[in-house]
Each structure stands twice: as C-alpha cells, then as structure tokens.
Amino acid sequence: KPLPTFQPSHLSLSLSTLTDLIGSAVIRWRGDMFSFVSPCAAPALAVTGPGLLPQPDQEDGLEEQPPGLFDGFLWMAAPKKRRTIEVNRTRRRADSKLLKVKNNIEPCPECGHLKQKHILCGFCYAKVCKETSMIRQQIKAAEGGPLRAPTVETVVLYEGETPSEQDKDKRIVERSRKRPAWFS
C-alpha cells in the first residue's frame, strides 16, 4: 500500500496569504527586518523590529570577495597531460643534447700519443716538465737561497759539453746526464 505522501505545499505561507491574515496592513520587507505601516494613521509610524542597526563602517561586505585568481595555493602550474614517449624522445635526443664528435684529434708525430691539433701533446710536455724541474733543482742548489736571481743569462750544459763562445758570460747549470735527443 502506498504511504500517504506529505505535501507541504498547501501548508507554506505565501506572501498573499500573509497579507490576507494581517488585513490591509502593508508589509514592507527591507533587508532583515519587517516593518508594519498601517495606511489609516496619518503620521506614519514605522515600527521596526529588532535588527542590526546600520554600521557606518560596514564596508567589509563590499570588499569581501572570494580569493583572487593569483592568491592561495590552488593556482600553480601543473602539467595537464602525461608527456608521451614520442615527445620525450624528441626532447631527450635534440641535437644540442647529443654528444658532439671531435674531428681534431691526431697522433703526436714525436711519441704517437693522441693529441688535439691546437693543444700540446701531454706526454711530450710531461717529458719537458720533468727535465725543467731537474734543471730548476740544480739552479736552486746553485743559488743557495730565496730571492737571489742572477743578473746574467743561464745556459744548461749536459755531460761532456764545454761552454761555447756565446756562453762565456752566462751562468752555467750542469746536468749530470747525456743530452736528450729532443733538446737541441
């Protein structure tokens, strides 16, 4: 059996029925208060119900807006869609991200180690460095202390070499080994 349905429509008070009940009194609705004004009395007395008195600085309502688009943490950049593998591949394999091929590598004609064309061979320079450090050790022993640079040129002589005509005014540094082939 269907239950008797409750129909509240005929119980609700519409404005027209309210006016009929109260009679010919005019009901005005202003904001949050009722005011009854009877049309018979000459000096109209507006009786206002208890309600909030108007505040002079009630401007918060005007300025209260929902948080703007740029406030809060909900507006932040986020990816909309998953990046597909094709898009990822084109980005990862872009020409600027691939390793560049160097075509300026060649073998050193002296030692055969690889070197770049515009850069000295590392092996040959290490050889030269070792010999210069040995020469500098001899110079240090000859000078005997710091800040004693001589005011004459220096010449390096190896075993069995005698100073030549050009070397007569120079300071002689002796190295106790045979002259290497790469030091003319």
Q: Which residues bind another protein (CB under 8 A)?
A: 110, 115-116, 118-120, 122, 124-125, 128, 131-132, 135-136, 147-156, 173, 180, 182-184
Each residue of 110-146: b (16+ CB within 10 Å) or e? eeeeebeeeeebeebeebeeebeeeeeebeeeeeeee
Q: How far is it, in rounded angstroms, from Cα 150 to Cα 32?
A: 107
The encoded tokens of residue 126 equal 């290490």
Q: How far is it, in rounded angstroms, from Cα 130 to Cα 5?
A: 109
**Which residues contact residue 153 at a Cβ distance below 8 angstroms, ignoring those fewer than 6 apart?**
169, 170, 171
Partners of residue 35 on adjacent β-strands:
28, 48
Q: How far is it, in rounded angstroms, from Cα 162 to Cα 149?
A: 23
Cα 70 to Cα 67, 78, 79, 104, 114: the distances in Å are 8, 15, 18, 54, 59
Q: How far is it, in rounded angstroms, from Cα 88 to Cα 79?
A: 14
